Every structure is written in structure tokens, then in C-alpha cells.
Amino acid sequence: MKRRTTLAGIALGALMAVAPLGTAWAADPIRIGYAIARTGIFAAAAPSQENPYALWQEQVNAAGGMELPGGERRPVEFVSYDDQSNPANTVRIYERLITQDKVDLLAAPWGTPMHLALAPVLQRYKFPMVGNTAASVQLRKVAPGYIWFVTSAIPDSMGAEMAAMLKANGMKSVAVLANELPYAQEFRSFLLPALKEQGIEVLVDQSYPPDAKDMTSLLVEVKGKSPDAVLALTYPADAFLFTGQARELGLASPFVLSLIGPTIDAYRKAFGGAADGIVSSAHWSGQSDMWPRGKAFFDAYVAKFGEEPDALDSAVTWMSMEILQQAVAKAGLDHEKLREAIATGTFDTINGPVKFDGVQNAMTPTGFVQIQNGKIELVWPPAIKTADFKPKQGW
Amino acid sequence: MKGIWPTAGVVLAGLALAAPLSGNAYLTGVAFQIAMWIALAQSWSMLSATTGYVSLGHAVFYGIGGYVAVLLVDAAPFPLVLLVAALAPAVFAAVIGLPVLRVRGPYFVILTYGLSELVRHGVMRIESALGSFGRMIFSAPSPEALLWWMVALAVAATLGAWAVRHSRFGAGLAAIREDEVAAETLGVPTARLKLLALIASAIIPGAVGGLAMMRTGYFEPGQAFDPVVSFTIVTMALVGGTDSVRGPVMGAIGFALLSELLWSSFPQLYMIVLGAALIGFVLFVPQGLSGLVDRIAGRRA
């Protein structure tokens, strides 16, 4: 009896030890590890990030592999796990990737909570990772970092830019509906003072839980106050809920923001013409000809997946891989050299040149996009816009 | 036969304590998870296995402890932080205990779940009112130190569960499980015993929550009060068997190792495999791992 359990224990242990070895022996490819939320409340966002990873891998390998200093090229392969939308799992998975799977490089998971939870892990193992789908002013506390944020959608500058954009378009009153998750709440905390500064009146200020299944009562309240602008600080899952119910109720405000979600191709497919006029967070558009690399990425993505890349998540994901690739070509796989290269270099991306100041992208302006005739157009700031803001005409 | 269980426990605790010495951070992480689930499942059993009042809301104690620990970690020495993290949910249990324990059966299950969700959303609101959007923890102890604390909690919870079952107190709780009305008629102070059991089962999960937040290095209420924690505790206790003290230990080890093995080997399919394994288990081994061991041992003897 005792022997049997012992044997079972040994067998289990042996299995766990052997499982990752199969891939470790093939020393040739550069192995890149990441975790992503394939299940749970963030699952709707995962394809926007995993597709660019897959496309990037395909392109790099087709070109003979990832370039190292001296011109040597090695193919790349991904090692990935599901973090179930739980930051505690993200931490354990990256520890596993670093210490057990012994990957050469890391790619980012989806979402601000996951990135925030990872910062101390990267610090502990001194493993650099270019972040993508996350932003928070809190990350400025981590210094000197092993993590960087490609996006310029950092809540403090977004609050100010949103208020400026509302003012520029003559909006005098707003309703704010915010998801309780950290990124939306952080944006809200910078948005409210910025609105006040611009003299814009806040008629409704409500928060709702991340797993909300019904927003009707909130939207009825908003409709009753008829604000000029409805600012829904959504995550992808509730962006669909918000839009569906706002359409049913016929919300009449000419300015409608849904923070994260509308840039996903499936959103436009789901709502068709009703999605026209929705404003969302992004600083890149496949429609822009400002950035030569951008159009190539857009076309390759559409050709491979039969849908458009998410102007926010897919774009920042692609940028993070461009940066990693250029830094590795310069510094190789040594973690300290790589960290130095990322922290000090200037990189050529689909969103123009990127250089980091601390953890932040210091070059790309914070922007907003609007869906117009089914296309994602940059409407703010004026310097990079591809179209003018148009008031929303019904649903 | 009976003598091997304490020995097994000592060996297990020793192995867990030695895990960091291997220098493998991943093994340290796995040992931490196993110790954490043992501590939680064992604490849960102090209330739910003994009295039959099945709690589906133990995440609330875990979350409160975690929240308190995160708020205090920069301000107080670590042992004191853990102590307060353990006491806070005990106080909470004492306050809510009497009204909550008046309902029984499925109503109690739903009520504990609802209470946990209520506190989760309450803390979310408090956090956003405080202008906090997820808290990063920079002063957490090392993963090794956290593991040693967690093993100590697992041992304490196991000893506690053993002591409860082998005492007059435990006999009273068993009487409540068998027939509460009859027990009351015979002079068992049922209300007081149930309340004490609830408080006892809340203490260690508070400290566990504190350690878990330190381990993740990040606090966000949605995750700290994740109902999946509650579900997992109940699942583990059922897989292990609720008739003995070793049941939750076996359930926690078995379930934690299985899910670890599955997610790392079948990252795309593991939830499906895990679900199928659970269904099979409940259908074919209803007495749990602990009962299975007894049956095999009985057949041999």
C-alpha cells in the first residue's frame, strides 16, 4: 500500500520533470514564452494579441529566423500557457517559463493587472520583457525597470487628451460609466479633474462590476439626463454589452466613447452600422499612411486571418515584437545587454519611431480613434489624424 | 497502519520546507500552492466537514486577510501583519456568524457565496474611492520565506482540524451535523458551537490570503475575492474525502498536482481534462481519496 502511493508519487514527479524536456533538447530555435487569458473574463481579448504573435513568428521564420548580432539567424518558437484571466497564475507561469522551461525571451500577457503583477517577477530574475497591452501610472514606481510599455494610452495623458477632444468638438456635458477594473478606474480618476478643468459638466458618474450582465438601468439613467457625450470606460467583454444595450435604448448622444473593445474586428462585425461613430482608445490605424511599416502589417494580417488587426491591442503587440526583434539584433540574448538595448534604443515601428523614457513610450502621441463607415480612423490628436470626428448619427 | 499518517505528515512538511534548497523556483512555487490549498481545505473542514454547513464563501476570509495584509505590509513587521490578517476575518466571522448560521442546507451555501460576492464588490468600491487601481507590493518577503510561512499554516490547520475532531467541541459539531434539533434538545449549545466553528475556520484562511497576495506581488479585489478560490476549496475537500483529517490533505495534494501537471502539459485542453477527471471521480470514488485508501487497505488486510 505504502509502496504503491510512493510509486505513484515518483511517476507523477517524473512526468512533471520530463514533460518540458522534449522541447528543451531542440536547442536550435529561440524560444519565447508567454501566458495569455484564453479563458475567463479577459478571454475575448486574447486573439487580438495571439494572432500578431503567430503572424510575427511566421514572418520571422520565413525570413530565415530572428537576427542576432553578427548576422546569425535562428528560427523562433513560442511556449504559451493559459493564465485563466488571473494575475496569480500569470506570475506562476512566468516563473515557470523562466526557471523550468528556460525560455530565451519573454513576450507579454494580456492586460494591465497581469503586467503589474509581473513587474516584480521580472525584476527578481532580471529578465527584460517589452510589455504591450497594458498601461498604468503605477509602473513609474518600478525603476530601473525590466518592463516597458509600448502604448501611449497611459491614463493620465489620456484623461487630459479626452477632455481636450471633447472641448474641441463642442461637448458640454458627459455621463461617465466605468468598469470597476483598475485600468478603467485609473483613467476615470484622471478624466474627472481634466473635464472640470475644461468646464465640462459631469451629469452621471457610475461604476459597474467587470462581470456585469445587464447595464439597462445605468443606461436608462444616462438617457434621461441626455448628456452630449457618453463615456463608457469598458473592457472588451462589457464593450459588447454596452453597445448592444445602448443601441436597444437608442442612446441619442452625439459623442459615444467605449474605451477598450471597439477596435476588435469582431465588434464591427457584430454591430455593423450601429458601430459607426463609436470613439475608442488607440493611437494607430491601418488607414494611416504616415507610417510605412503600418500598411504592410495591416495587409499581411488581413491576408492571414481574414479580419482587420485590432488598432489598439494588435498594434501594440506587433510594436512590442518589433522592438524585441530590433533589440535582439543589436544586443543578442544576454538579458542585461538586452535590457540596456531596449532602455536606450530608438526603434522603428508600425506606429513610427519609439524610444522609452523610464517605462514609457516617449514618442508616440496619445490618440483616439472613431469607427467611420466600418473603418478605424484616427480622429485625435490633429497631428496624426486620418479623418475628422463626426457626431454619432443614431444606431 | 494508523501510525503511518503522522509520519507521512512530518515527511511531507519536511519535503516542503526543503523545496527551496533545491534552488528550483518552480518547485518552490508548486510546494507553496500545495501548502496553501492544504491550509485552506483543512480550515474549511473545521466548519463544513464537521457540522455539514457547507460554505461556498471561504474566499471572503482569504480576501479580507489578503486586503488587510496588503494595507499593512509597509507599515508593520511581517509576523504582525500576518497576525492581523488572521484576526480580521475572525472578527468578521464573529460579527456575521449568528444571523448567517440560522439558515441551513442549500440556503446556507447560497448565503455564504452571496456574502463573499458582496464583500468583493464592496472592497472594489472602497478601492476606487481611495484612488487605488490595483496595488503593487514592493516589500514582500522572498518566495522561500513565504513558503515556510505557508507550510507552518498548513501544519497548524491540520493540527487544528485534528484537535477539533477529537474534542468535546468536535463531538458537539458532529451532533449538529447528524440532527441539529435533537442535539439542541439534548442540551448541546448549538448556536455557540457553530459560531466558534465558523470563527475557527476563518482564522487561517486570512493569513493564507495575506501570504498569497505577497506571493503574487499584486493586489486587486476581483482577484483576491475570486469565487474560484471558494469552489476549489470545496472541490479539494470532496476529492480528498470529508470523513477524516487526512482527506483534505490528500485532496489538496492530489488536485493541486493534477491541475499543475495538466496545465503545464496540455495548455490548450487542461480545463476539459480536469473537468472530466472530476466528474469521473465523483461518480466512481464518492468517498474521496481517503476512502479509496481505506478500501484498498481493507482489501489487503
A132 and A179 assigned to the same domain: no
* Nearest CB to B261; choose among A16, A121, A141: A16
**What's the mean pLDDT in A272-291?**
93
Of A210-224, A359-373, B19-33, where does mean pLDDT reach its minimum? B19-33
At residue B2, the pLDDT reads 58
- Of A320, A261, A263, A281, the closest CA to residue A153 belongs to A281
Contacts of B128 in chain A (CB under 8 A): 178, 180, 185, 188-189, 207
How far is the alpha carbon of A95 from chain B, nearest alpha carbon, in Å? 6
Is B125–A81 a contact, with Cβ atoms under 8 angstroms apart? no
d(C-alpha B113, C-alpha B55), whole Å: 8
- Which residues, 6 or more positions from B27, have their beta carbon under 8 angstroms from its beta carbon? B19
How far is the alpha carbon of A51 from chain B, nearest alpha carbon, in Å? 16
At residue B291, the pLDDT reads 85
Residue A6 lies in a domain: no
Interface test with A, best of B121, B130, B216 (most A CBs within 10 A): B216
d(C-alpha A387, C-alpha A67), whole Å: 38
Is B223–A98 a contact, with Cβ atoms under 8 angstroms apart? no
At residue B262, the pLDDT reads 84
Residue A20 lies in a domain: no
- What is chain A's mean pLDDT, rounded? 90
At residue A61, the pLDDT reads 95
Taking CA atoms, what residue in A is nearest to B2? A2
At residue B18, the pLDDT reads 75
Query: What burial letters (b/e) apply to B171-202, b meaning 16+ CB within 10 Å?
Result: ebbbbbeeebeebeeeebebeebbbbbbbbbb
* Nearest CB to A95; choose among B26, B131, B138: B26
Q: Is the pLDDT of residue A22 over 70?
A: no
Contacts of B260 in chain A (CB under 8 A): 16
How far is the alpha carbon of B169 from chain A, nearest alpha carbon, in Å? 33
Of A143-152, A279-288, B220-229, where does mean pLDDT reach its minimum? A143-152
Task: Quickly state the pLDDT bin for A27 (edges 50, 70, 90).
Answer: very low
A127 and A186 assigned to the same domain: no
Provide the Cα torsion B112, B113, B114, B119; round to 10°.
90
In which residue are the cell numbers 483543512 written? B42
A364 near A351, Cβ under 8 Å?
A: yes
A203 and A134 assigned to the same domain: no
pTM as predicted? 0.85
Residue A389 lies in a domain: no
d(C-alpha A385, C-alpha A311), whole Å: 14
**What's the mean pLDDT in B269-288?**
82
- What is chain B's mean pLDDT, rounded? 89
Q: Which helix (H) or strand (E) holds B159?
A: helix B143-165
Is A82–B29 a contact, with Cβ atoms under 8 angstroms apart? no
In which residue are the cell numbers 483534505 written? B248
Contacts of B228 in chain A (CB under 8 A): 86
At residue A182, the pLDDT reads 83
At residue A20, the pLDDT reads 45
d(C-alpha B54, C-alpha B41), whole Å: 12
Task: Quickly state the pLDDT bin for A144 (edges 50, 70, 90).
Answer: low
Taking residue B36's Cβ as centre, other Cβ atoms within 10 Å add up to 26
**What's the mean pLDDT in A290-302?**
94
Measured CA angle at A301 (ends A297, A303), to 5 deg: 120
**R_g (Cα) of chain B, nearest Å:** 19
ipTM of the complex: 0.84
Is B264–A16 a contact, with Cβ atoms under 8 angstroms apart? yes
pLDDT tens digits for range A108-139: 999 988 998 898 899 889 999 999 998 888 87
A176 and A309 assigned to the same domain: no
A369 near A279, Cβ under 8 Å?
A: yes
Is B215–A88 a contact, with Cβ atoms under 8 angstroms apart? yes
Contacts of B29 in chain A (CB under 8 A): 92, 95-96
A217 and A190 assigned to the same domain: yes
A352 and A379 assigned to the same domain: no
At residue B300, the pLDDT reads 61
At residue A40, the pLDDT reads 84
pLDDT tens digits for range A154-171: 899 999 999 999 999 999
Task: Quickly state the pLDDT bin for A1 (edges 50, 70, 90).
Answer: very low
d(C-alpha A313, C-alpha A316), whole Å: 5
How far is the alpha carbon of B94 from chain A, nearest alpha carbon, in Å? 28
Residue pairs spanning A and B at CB distance below 8 A? 112
Residue A104 lies in a domain: yes
A317 and A348 assigned to the same domain: yes
Number of domains chain A contains: 2
The separation between CA A74 and the C-alpha centre of its own chain, rounded to angstroms, equals 27
How far is the alpha carbon of B31 from chain A, nearest alpha carbon, in Å? 12
A249 and A351 assigned to the same domain: no
A107 near A136, Cβ under 8 Å?
A: no
B46 near B197, Cβ under 8 Å?
A: yes
Sign of CA dihedral B212, B216, B219, B222: negative
Contacts of B125 in chain A (CB under 8 A): 180, 207
A129 and A235 assigned to the same domain: no
Q: Is the pLDDT of residue B79 over 60?
A: yes
**What's the mean pLDDT in A299-312?**
95
Task: Quickly state the pLDDT bin for A19 (edges 50, 70, 90).
Answer: very low
Is A119–B136 a contact, with Cβ atoms under 8 angstroms apart? yes
How far is the alpha carbon of B290 from chain A, nearest alpha carbon, in Å? 12
Residue A4 lies in a domain: no
The residue range of the domain holding A326 is 30-58+70-153+293-361
Task: Quickly state the pLDDT bin for A21 (edges 50, 70, 90).
Answer: very low
**What's the mean pLDDT in B168-187?**
93
Residue A65 lies in a domain: no
Is B218–A117 a contact, with Cβ atoms under 8 angstroms apart? yes
Contacts of A210 in chain B (CB under 8 A): 222
Percent of chain B with pLDDT over 90: 60
Percent of chain A with pLDDT over 70: 92
Provide the Cα torsion B125, B127, B129, B130; round to 10°.
160
d(C-alpha A210, C-alpha A238), whole Å: 7
d(C-alpha A373, C-alpha B103), whole Å: 57
Is B222–A80 a contact, with Cβ atoms under 8 angstroms apart? no
CATH of the domain at A315: 3.40.50.2300
Q: Domain-by-domain residue ranges, chain B?
A: 4-226
How far is the alpha carbon of B299 from chain A, nearest alpha carbon, in Å? 10
Q: Which helix (H) or strand (E) holds B44?
A: helix B25-51
Contacts of B300 in chain A (CB under 8 A): 1
Q: Is the pLDDT of residue B272 over 90?
A: no
pLDDT tens digits for range B105-157: 999 999 999 999 999 999 998 988 888 878 888 888 998 999 999 999 999 99
Interface test with B, best of A93, A181, A192, A206 (most B CBs within 10 A): A181
At residue A15, the pLDDT reads 47
* Nearest CB to B216; choose among A38, A87, A100: A87
Q: Is the pLDDT of residue B271 over 90?
A: no
- Which residues, 6 or more positions from A219, have their beta carbon under 8 angstroms from its beta carbon? A242, A245, A246, A249, A251
A176 and A297 assigned to the same domain: no
Is A100–B138 a contact, with Cβ atoms under 8 angstroms apart? no
CA distances from A123 to A120, A126, A131, A146 (A): 5, 5, 14, 6
A44 and A117 assigned to the same domain: yes
A252 and A376 assigned to the same domain: yes
Q: Is the pLDDT of residue A26 over 60?
A: no
How far is the alpha carbon of A288 from chain B, nearest alpha carbon, in Å? 33
pLDDT tens digits for range B210-235: 999 999 988 988 889 999 899 999 99
**What's the mean pLDDT in A227-251?**
95
- Of B175, B177, B237, the closest CA to residue B51 belongs to B177
Give a three-class secondary structure readout of chain A. CHHHHHHHHHHHHHHHHHCCHHHHCCCCCEEEEEEECCCCCCHHHHHHHHHHHHHHHHHHHHCCCEECCCCCEECEEEEEEECCCCHHHHHHHHHHHHHCCCCCEECCCCCHHHHHHHHHHHHHHCCCEEECCCCCHHHHHCCCCCEEECCCCCHHHHHHHHHHHHHHCCCCEEEEEEECCHHHHHHHHHHHHHHHHCCCEEEEEEEECCCCCCCHHHHHHHHHHCCCEEEEECCHHHHHHHHHHHHHHCCCCCEEEECCCCCCHHHHHHHHHHHCCEEEECCCCCCCCCCHHHHHHHHHHHHHHCCCCCCCHHHHHHHHHHHHHHHHHHHCCCHHHHHHHHHHCEEEEECEEEEEECCEECCCCCCEEEEECCEEEEEECHHHCCCCCCCCCCC
